[in-house]
Each structure stands twice: as C-alpha cells, then as structure tokens.
C-alpha cells in the first residue's frame, strides 16, 4: 500500500496546479494514465479568459458567461471564477508561463477575442497555450521533492469507507492499475482529488485525447456522489476534417481573428443562422454546421482565413499553419475543411465552491467536475481558468481541513478471476457505444433516439458487468466500463430535460422552458444513514 496526504488522479492543468499549490506542506501523489504531457490540457489552443484590460470588467465577463450558458450558470460559481481570473493568470506568470507579449499595453500580454466574448480578454501563448502552460508546470512538478509522479497508472475505483466497513470515513483513497505490469495497488490518502478530465471518447468523433474516458465521473457515481448537467456535451464546431488527422482542433481564435465559414462552393452561411455570425457561441455554430452538412449531404464545411496576410497567420497560428501544411493545406491560400466533434463535458461530478464532492475527503476539479460555471454551454477559454481557480479553492480547503490517512486498506482481490478469454468483446462494445452515442445522443436529439441509446446501454452494461466480474481488469476494460457508465448518465440527464437549451437541442422540445434548473442526478447508492459532505 502507498500512503499520501493528497492523492491527485489526473495530471492536466487542474491536477498539476493543485499539486504545486500544496507540495510545500503536503506529500503528494500525482497519477497520470499515460505521461504528464498526454492530457487534454496540452491540446488547448485558444487560451485563458480573464479580465486584464481596464476597459473590460468582471461584470462583462460574468454576463458573457451567463449568455453562453443559456441562463443556467450558477451565479455564485460564475462570479467566483471571473473575479479570480486576473489572480489565476498572475499565478501562472509567477510559475514562469510566458504568455504572448504586447509591448503596447501596460500589462504586456496580447489579448485575443473568441466567440461569445464581448471584449478581447483571452491571454494566450500563440495558438498552443495549453502545451506551453503544461510544459512550464510539468518541469516544476518533476523537480519538486514532495510530488511523486505515477505515470502509466489508471484508477480502477475509489475506496469508500461505507463499502469497506469504515462507515463514516468517507473516501480513503483508490485502487490503481499499473498499465504495464497489470498489477493493482491500493493508494491510501487523507484527501483524494479527481482531475481526470472529460468524456469525449464516448463519441465517435472528438477533439479529446484517448485518455478522456469519463473515469472520474464514473468512479464518483459508483462511490455514491451526485452528478449534474451531463446532457450538456459541447461539440467544437471546427475539428480538422482529414483522413490523416485525428482529433486536431482548429482553434476558436481563428474565427475570433476573422475566419469565415463557407460551403464547398464558397458561400458564407453563418449570417443566416445568427446575427453574430462566426462569433456566435459554439453551440450555435456547431448546430449551423450540422444543419448545412445534413441538408446538403456534404462531408464538411470550410473555415477560410486566407484573406489575412501570411505573416499574420504564421505569427498567430503557427501550430495550425504547420499541421495543415503537413497535410497539404496552405491556410494562407486555401480554406480549412472542418466538422463538429465532441469537445467538452460541461457537466460532471457535483461540487461546491470549495471543490468538495458529496463524499468527505473527495474533491473534483477541472472538466471532471460540475461547479455550475458552464451552465448549458461553456464559454470559450473559461475551462483552463476554471482549472486554476478551483485548484486553489481545493488547496485552501485541504489545508483548512486535515484528515487522518488510513493505516490499512483491503488489498485488491483477484482470487476469483481469470485472464480474459476474448478481448474482442471489449473492442466490439467500444465501437458500438461510440457510434450509437454519435448517432442518437449527438448535436440534435429526439426522444426516440434517446430511448434507442438507453436500450443499447442497458445491454452493454450487463455484458461489461459480467466481464468485469469474471476476468482480470485491464486498461481497456476499465475505460470501457467508465465510458458506458458515463454514457448512461448523459442519456438519463438528456431524457430529463424537456426543452432545448444550450448544448442540448431536442426536436421534440424545440423551445426553452421558462424556469430552467440544473439536472442533478441523486445517487441511489448513497446510504441514507450517512450525511453528505456537500449540502
């Protein structure tokens, strides 16, 4: 058994920010499913939204967030995040992050604008902000003596007191599988933090890395926690459409800097869908593209920024320019073929303003969580900001509420299982799940589609449960189990929302309800004798 003050499952911006904030006073385990560099944070191109320019205001950032969130953003959480935006940026600068400079401003940072924002407030590092931030933090994480990094480990399940005979102990740690050796080890911790990212791999097309399999959300649900707003899956409108390009995102900033969406014949189509045209929020743009593709039977639309100078494009979008050129697309001369793809999980594990879940000792931060900030649709570049702000909130609460680390935990029991006889069951179920989720629970939904998806999820759940019970766990089995659980939560949440709002668009309920409320799934597994930490 390994023992730590804080066990952080997930090594993106949220997890690393928390580790660095606590490492001077706590013994930290930072768990990465693959390598520290492989999370979704490294893929973020656009930047981090924060009020830096005195002509901007946190009230304006709040209003933009609420508008994008279709009136479903939690006011307290939204004010909390936007009010701490400048502080979060300063913390990152203190760590050594070199944002793109602008010598003509007092704050010496270039600010760009993205869809849904009323001001230029996106702090960035060219068009590879996530990668630059991660590179800086990873260096500090690896050098800190109090942070022990566990790479190639995937969490199997949380260890919960009321399931192992320690009734009111809350979360005691987690079982982790070493992906190379196949061995499962118990990790005990005073505090456990879920920072595992989203669930984009539940869909056939996604901008997410292969690690985004809903692990934290599924584990928290199995432990008895509530989840919220799972029906709101953000589809990024502009994923590069090319047979040799997997999940490559074309940043929101391309439209923010003047990129135009066109049909194959060159006709611009966004103005007829929304008065904000290409600068409309992502859900509006994604639905417009989906509509045009289905109406015309075309494989993609085109994002054209070739009217800008080559110098401008190479300066602002060097990563996008280089990747497109590798594939034979010169963005200085030709438009970029794009399609919508699952991009961000706006819902997640229900948390409070201190990042606490229902289970004492268990926190959730970043895309794994549902703080209420994103409402029915995430405003561009609010996600990295949320990671940093709620990592600090969790750090403060962990410091203020010390807990005892368990001295012993039950060992993982493999005495009644055997090696899997046919791995094809996993790969077949994985493909089936992702395809029917794309077809039935995608950008546009209907009651019938949701019912079909729910029926198939029940069949898959039964098959996977039998498989999990009889065979040794593997990385693929764990991920598939988590994806099916997350898919079930998405469908159940979507079936509860009898309206169209934000990212959830239903043909059966095309209008918005008068008094919207979050979709909170209360967990039937929670023992009624136990008080919830988060009330």
Closest C-alpha to 523, from 513, 515, 534 = 534
Task: Tokens for 297, please give them.
Answer: 């039977």
- The DSSP output letter for 414 is -
Please tell me the total number of residues recorded for the chain in this structure: 535
- The DSSP output letter for 3 is E
Closest C-alpha to 250, from 319, 308, 314, 309 = 319
- Return the half-sphere exposure (C-beta side, CA atoms, 13 A cut-off) of residue 498: 2
Residue whose entry in the numeric block shows the structure tokens 């979360």: 171
109 and 100 Cβ atoms separated by less than 8 Å: yes
Distance CA 360, CA 22 (A): 19
Decide: helix, strand or coil at residue 409: coil
DSSP per-residue string spanning 225-275: --EE-TT-EEEEEEEE--TT-SS-B--HHHHHTT-EEE-TTS-B-GGGT-T
Q: Please tell me which residue in 113, 121, 282, 434 is annotated as part of the active site.
A: 282
How would you list the strands of the sheet with 227-228, edge to edge? 369-370, 348-350, 227-228, 520-521
The phi, psi pair for 332, rounded to 5°, reads -80, -15
- Judge whether 296 counts as a catalytic residue: no
Decide: helix, strand or coil at residue 105: coil
460 and 485 Cβ atoms separated by less than 8 Å: no
Task: Tokens for 367, please give them.
Answer: 């895309």
Residue whose entry in the numeric block shows the structure tokens 């997930």: 10
Q: Collect all residues with Cβ–Cβ distance below 8 Å to 451 and sequence separation of at least 6.
A: none
Q: What is the Cα 247 distance to its own chain's centre?
A: 15
- Return the half-sphere exposure (C-beta side, CA atoms, 13 A cut-off) of residue 254: 32
Distance CA 489, CA 346 (A): 13
The CA-CA-CA angle for residues 47, 53, 57, to 5°, reads: 95
Q: Is 219 exposed, middle or buried (0-12, 13-18, 19+ CB in 10 A)?
A: buried
23 and 6 Cβ atoms separated by less than 8 Å: no
Q: Collect all residues with Cβ–Cβ distance below 8 Å to 13 and sequence separation of at least 6.
A: 39, 41, 130, 133, 134, 137, 366, 384, 387, 388, 391
Which value, in Å, is the radius of gyration of the alpha carbons in the chain? 22
Closest C-alpha to 367, from 39, 20, 29 = 39
Alpha helices in 115-185 (DSSP H): 129-143
* Catalytic center residues: 282
């Amino acid at each position: 058994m390994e023992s730590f003050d804080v066990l952080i499952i997930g090594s993106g911006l949220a997890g690393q920010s928390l580790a660095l904030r606590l490492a001077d006073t706590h013994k930290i385990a930072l768990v990465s499913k693959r390598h520290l560099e492989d999370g979704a944070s490294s893929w973020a191109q656009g930047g981090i939204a924060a009020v830096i320019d005195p002509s901007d205001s946190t009230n304006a950032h709040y209003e933009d967030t609420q508008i994008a969130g279709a009136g479903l953003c939690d006011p307290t959480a939204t004010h909390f995040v936007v009010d701490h935006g400048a502080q979060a940026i300063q913390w990152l600068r203190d760590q050594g992050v070199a944002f793109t400079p602008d010598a003509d401003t007092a704050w010496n940072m270039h600010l760009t604008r993205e869809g849904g924002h009323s001001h230029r407030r996106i702090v960035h590092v060219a068009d590879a902000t996530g990668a630059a931030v991660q590179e800086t933090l990873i260096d500090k994480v690896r050098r800190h003596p109090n942070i022990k990094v566990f790479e190639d480990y995937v969490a199997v399940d949380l260890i919960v007191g009321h399931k192992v005979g320690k009734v009111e102990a809350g979360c005691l740690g987690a079982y982790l599988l070493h992906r190379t050796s196949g061995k499962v080890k118990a990790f005990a911790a005073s505090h456990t933090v879920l920072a595992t990212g989203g669930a984009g791999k539940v869909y056939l097309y996604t901008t997410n890395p292969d690690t985004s399999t809903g692990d934290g959300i599924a584990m928290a649900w199995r432990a008895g926690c509530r989840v919220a707003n799972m029906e709101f899956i953000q589809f990024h409108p502009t994923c590069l459409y090319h047979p040799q390009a997997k999940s490559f995102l074309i940043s929101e900033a391309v439209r923010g800097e003047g990129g135009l969406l066109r049909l194959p014949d060159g006709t611009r189509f966004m103005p007829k869908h929304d008065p904000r045209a290409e600068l409309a929020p992502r859900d509006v743009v994604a639905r417009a593209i989906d509509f045009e593709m289905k109406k015309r039977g075309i494989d993609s639309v085109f994002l054209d920024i070739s009217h800008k100078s080559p110098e401008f494009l190479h300066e602002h979008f060097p990563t996008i320019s280089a990747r497109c050129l590798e594939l034979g697309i010169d963005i200085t001369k030709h438009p970029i073929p794009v399609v919508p793809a699952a991009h961000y999980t706006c819902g997640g594990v229900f948390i409070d303003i201190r990042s606490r879940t229902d289970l004492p000792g268990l926190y959730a931060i970043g895309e794994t969580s549902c703080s209420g900030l994103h409402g029915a649709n995430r405003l561009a570049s609010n996600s990295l900001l949320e990671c940093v702000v709620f990592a600090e909130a969790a750090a403060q609460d962990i410091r203020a509420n010390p807990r005892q680390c368990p001295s012993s935990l039950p060992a993982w029991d493999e005495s009644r299982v055997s090696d899997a006889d046919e791995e094809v069951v996993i790969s077949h179920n994985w493909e089936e799940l992702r395809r029917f989720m794309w077809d039935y629970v995608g950008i546009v939904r209907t009651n019938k589609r949701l019912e079909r998806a729910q029926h198939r999820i029940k069949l898959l759940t039964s098959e996977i449960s039998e498989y999990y019970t009889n065979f040794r766990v593997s990385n693929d089995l764990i991920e598939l189990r988590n994806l099916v659980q997350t898919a079930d939560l998405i469908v159940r949440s979507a079936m509860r929302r009898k309206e169209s709002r934000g990212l959830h668009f239903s043909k059966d309920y095309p209008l918005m309800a008068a008094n919207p409320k979050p979709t909170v799934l209360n967990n039937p597994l929670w023992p009624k004798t136990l008080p919830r930490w988060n009330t």
